Amino acid sequence: MRLKPDITDAASELTNQPFGWDGGEDRIVWPDTNTGNAPTRAEMDAKLVELQAEYDANQYQRDRQAEYPSVQELVVALYDTDDKSAIEAKRAEVKKKYPKPE
């Protein structure tokens, strides 16, 4: 499950250049050789807003995952017709509870 995006995710999305993290706010450390290629804070903030919107739009997926049958339940259901019906019903309930946004 993906964690809520942060500024390092934004930096990674904007450049394939290596960078470090020195902890705290605004503590991305760019190697001297990459400083000229580093995205600005404004660019990273804009990308973070975009990543947060995508994260928020996929909340239904995280909600579903928390309630879907476990892998063990699915494996057992492969060999038992009654269990398979119960699993299908449970998945349908979860999908109804957390619908995919249009």
Q: Which of 69, 75, 71, 73 is nearest to 90 (CA)?
A: 69
What predicted TM-score, i.e. pTM, was given to this entire model? Answer: 0.68
Instruction: Tell whether 52 and 63 lie within a shared domain.
Output: no
Structural domain boundaries enclosing 28: 1-57
pLDDT in tens, the chain (102 residues): 468 998 888 888 888 777 887 766 667 877 765 566 778 889 999 999 999 999 999 999 999 999 998 888 888 888 877 778 888 888 999 999 999 988
User: Are 68 and 94 contained in the same domain?
Assistant: yes
Q: Are 69 and 77 in contact (CB under 8 A)?
A: yes
Do both 50 and 68 map to the same domain? no
